[in-house]
Amino acid sequence: MNDQSETLEQTTGGLDLALLLPFQITQLSGKLAAQARAILSRHGTLSLAQWRIIRIVAMGLPPQSTAVRKSSGIDKGQFSKTVNVLIDEGYVTTRPCPFDHRQFEVILTDKAIAAHARLAPELDARQAHLLAALTDAQREMILPAIHALAKAAETIDFLNKDKD
Amino acid sequence: MNDQSETLEQTTGGLDLALLLPFQITQLSGKLAAQARAILSRHGTLSLAQWRIIRIVAMGLPPQSTAVRKSSGIDKGQFSKTVNVLIDEGYVTTRPCPFDHRQFEVILTDKAIAAHARLAPELDARQAHLLAALTDAQREMILPAIHALAKAAETIDFLNKDKD
DNA sequence: TCAAGAAAGTGGACATGTCAACCTTTTCGT
DNA sequence: ACGAAAAGGTTGACATGTCCACTTTCTTGA
């Protein structure tokens, strides 16, 4: 037994972690969300979903509603409600999308731009902090691994391949 | 540009993913949860949290409430409510914990054991399916990387180190 | 061209997750 | 042995996330 497995045992109480990859990822996701919320709450009351939308538009990505929604990874219904809250609180305005009248475009107000200017450096520092915790090899490996898992998580067809 | 970055771009619309590690992990976590829910719903109405509790006890881990709660990674309040639902629906019973009267012990009923027997093989197959999507190097790397990130996600002290 | 289907946003219902206050039991220091 | 502090469980309030039905707009094919 090496020191790595010892370290891991501390976080789970001694389970065989090979059985718990989804569980470990879920726990990590929760901790990352809590950390992001802690940073956001230092400077205001933006929720994570609200921040993601602001950040996407601030980055200069396409501001059409569907593009923003897909970049944010937020559910259709939740996206609609979150944008309306952002409007009510004066962070964004919208205008009709010229080439598709079902959609709209998201425009940041000065308030959102100011919030972004305050928050972005701290979130960038956090990102650097997280990456610094990984070895070079881990840093190179992890995004492809996450992507491979995400693809494998999109289907449950493997359960009845024998029935086809 | 290699084919890896191309593949990743497809899932995000062309963003610089080096900036989005927490986002990617959150998205992955959501997909894994949806996949698990899809499997659970094929055989009954157990929620993810309910299933985790049953699985932990079925594995023979210590059945005292605190031990089960920590293994499950579930919030104290949510754990209390979830256990009560499991009792109401006849999946578990409890008895006082002999050495700590604040706690209780969780005992599975036949109904829970039967549900576990039906579900465990499918979730094991899913675990195998996920692991098969990774290369050998990724498989070895990923749990230590997750653990390192989880540790780094537990603090925001890096934000004001200069003020100490 | 026009009817059918797909895609987009909205709103409601419901499930899940988070947080804090509270009470009880245990632990620890004196 | 005793009081204070910590740990455990419960409950309620609230935030977040998921799912579905519905309307409008766009796209497609006959």
Alpha helices in A13-96 (DSSP H): 21-43, 48-58, 65-72, 76-88
**Cβ of A125 under 8 Å from any chain B Cβ?**
yes
Of the partner residues A36, A70, A152, the one whose CB lies closest to the CB of residue B129? A152
User: What is the residue-averaged pLDDT of chain A?
Assistant: 87
State, as a whole number of angstroms, the distance between the CA of A104 and the C1' of C1: 29
Strand C at less than 7 A from CB of B34: no
The answer to whether residue A121 neighbours chain B at the CB level (below 8 Å) is no
Closest-CA residue of chain A to B150? A28
The answer to whether the C-beta of A30 is closer than 7 A to strand C is yes
Cα distance between residue A153 and residue A22, in whole Å:
10
> Of B145, B148, B36, which is closest to residue A159 (Cα–Cα)?
B36
Domains of chain A plus CATH, in order, are 44-153 (1.10.10.10)
Do the Cβ atoms of B159 and A30 come within 8 Å?
no
For the stretch B118-152, pLDDT in tens is 999 999 999 999 999 999 999 999 999 999 999 99
* Whole-complex ipTM: 0.88
pLDDT at B163 over 70: no
Q: Is the confidence at residue A54, as pLDDT, over 90? A: yes
- What per-residue confidence (pLDDT) applies to A58? 96
**Are B146 and A25 in contact (CB < 8 Å)?**
yes
A120 reaches B (C-beta below 8 A): no
**Separation of A102 CA and C4 C1' (Å):** 19
Measured between alpha carbons, how far is A29 from B22 in angstroms, rounded to an integer?
7
